Amino acid sequence: MASEQAKSNEPHDQFIKQFIPVVLKNLFESQTSVSVRLSEELAIDVLCTAIKHDGKIEIDDSLGLLGRLVAIHSTIIIEHYSGYLDLEDIDSCILRSGLYWELNKSKSDNSRKIRATKNSVTNPTPLHFDRPFTWILTAKCGENSFKRWNAIPYPEYGAHVYRLAAPGLSMGIVDIESLPYNPDTMLLKMLGKANSAKQAFADILKLDPKLELRNDIIEVSLKHCIYLEEVKSELTQEALSFMTYLKEVEEAYQAWVKKRQAEGKIVGFEEGKIEGIREGKIEGIREGKIEGIREGKVEGIREGKVEGIREGKVEGVREGMIRAATKIVRGKFGVEALTPEISDRITGLSDRQLDEFTSKIFDWQQPSEMVAWLENCQS
C-alpha cells in the first residue's frame, strides 16, 4: 500500500482537490487535506459541507451521477485513489472518517437536527444520520476488498457503486473504471484513468460554452497542467499520461478560441484566459504552485499546524483520538478485548504513540499483537 505521504503526492489525487470544490461549489463549501491528527500525516482528501443551513441537498442534474452521490448527506467526505484500492486503503478511510467524527461531532451545532425521511429519493437506505458519509472514488477495486468489509451493491446508484453494510460506517465505494462511459458518468470518469478519462476530458469542450461547469473545469485543467509541467521530471509514466489529457484540453481550447476569433465572436476574457494562466497571473498560482499547495503544505497549515492548533494542542483533540482508538479496538477485536488494563494503557500513550497505535491497529490480526505492542511501549 502506498503511504499517506505518497498518496497525497499523486498528481491525479491532487487534481481532485481542485476539481471537486469547483464542480460542487453551488452545493457545498469544500476543504481539502483536512487534518485528522496532531500531525499532517493523515488527512481527508476533500470535505464538503452543505451551503444551505437546513442541510438539504438538491440534486444537480448537470453533475450526473456525481450529483446524485453527493446528495446523500449534508456533509460528504471524498477520498480518491487513482490506482488500485486495496484492503489497507479502505482501513485508512474508515480510520480517517472515524477520527474526524470523534474530533468534530461535538462542534456541530446542527448535527442532530439533520434527518432524512425513510422514503427519501436521495437516501433510500438507513444511514447514521449525524456522521458524514464517505465516498471512496477509486480507479479499480477487487473482490477481496469488497468481501473484507462486506461491501454490497448500491442499486439506487446503478452498477459498480457499493456501500459498506456494517451499521454506522456510512461509507460507499465507486469503481470508476467499471462504470459505463456516458454523459451521466463523465465527471467521475475524469477522475479515473485509461481511455475513458481521456474521452471525458475531450468531451468537456463539447459542452455549451456558456455553461459555467464547462468553463470551471477547463480552468482547473489548465492550472493543474501548469503545475504538472513544473514537476514533470518527477512524474511517473501514469502521471505523464494524465498530463497529456490536460494538455489536450488546453490545445483544443486554444483552437476553439482561434475559431471564435476568426468568426468575430470571441469575448475578451476568453482570449486572455490561457495567456493569463500561462503567465501565472491566476490567483492561487505563484511560481508554479497550485492554490492550496505551498511547498507541500495545505492551505490553512502553517509549519505543520492546522488553523486552531497552537503548538499541537487542540481542546479535546487528544480525548477524541483516544475515544476513536478504543472504538476501533472494540470494532475489530470485540468488546472483551478492551479490558480496563488495555484502556488505561491506551490512555497513557504519548501523542506520537497514539498516532502510531491508530495506524498499526488495522495490521494486527490478534489482540495479543496489540497487547505486546502496548507492553513494549511502556516497558
Q: What is the pLDDT of residues 138-154, one digit of tens each?
A: 988 888 778 878 889 99
Which residues form the domain of 324? 317-377
Residue 94 has pLDDT above 80, yes or no: yes
Same domain? 185 vs 271:
no
Same domain? 63 vs 210:
no
At 316, the pLDDT band (50, 70, 90 cuts) reads low
Q: Are 190 and 196 in contact (CB under 8 A)?
A: no
End position of a domain, from candidates 282, 304, 328: 282
Asked if the structure places residue 8 within a domain, the reply is yes
Same domain? 120 vs 264:
no
DSSP H or E run through 34: strand 28-35
Domain count for the chain, please give it.
Answer: 3
Asked if the structure places residue 304 within a domain, the reply is no
In the sheet that 75-85 helps form, which strands lie side by side, from edge to edge? 28-35, 43-50, 75-85, 133-141, 171-175, 161-164, 151-153
pLDDT of residue 88: 83
Same domain? 116 vs 17:
yes
Paired with 77 in beta bridges are 47, 134
pLDDT of residue 121: 37
Amino acid, single-letter form, for residue 280: G
Judge residue 129's burial from the number of C-beta atoms within 10 Å of its C-beta, 0-12 exposed, 13-18 middle, 19 or more buried: middle
Q: Are 136 and 173 in contact (CB under 8 A)?
A: yes
Residue 10 has pLDDT above 90, yes or no: no
Judge residue 243's burial from the number of C-beta atoms within 10 Å of its C-beta, 0-12 exposed, 13-18 middle, 19 or more buried: buried
Mean pLDDT (whole number) for 340-357:
86
The model carries a pTM of: 0.67
**118 Cβ contact list (under 8 Å, min separation 6):** 126
The segment with the largest mean pLDDT, out of 27-36, 95-104, 244-253, 325-334, is 27-36
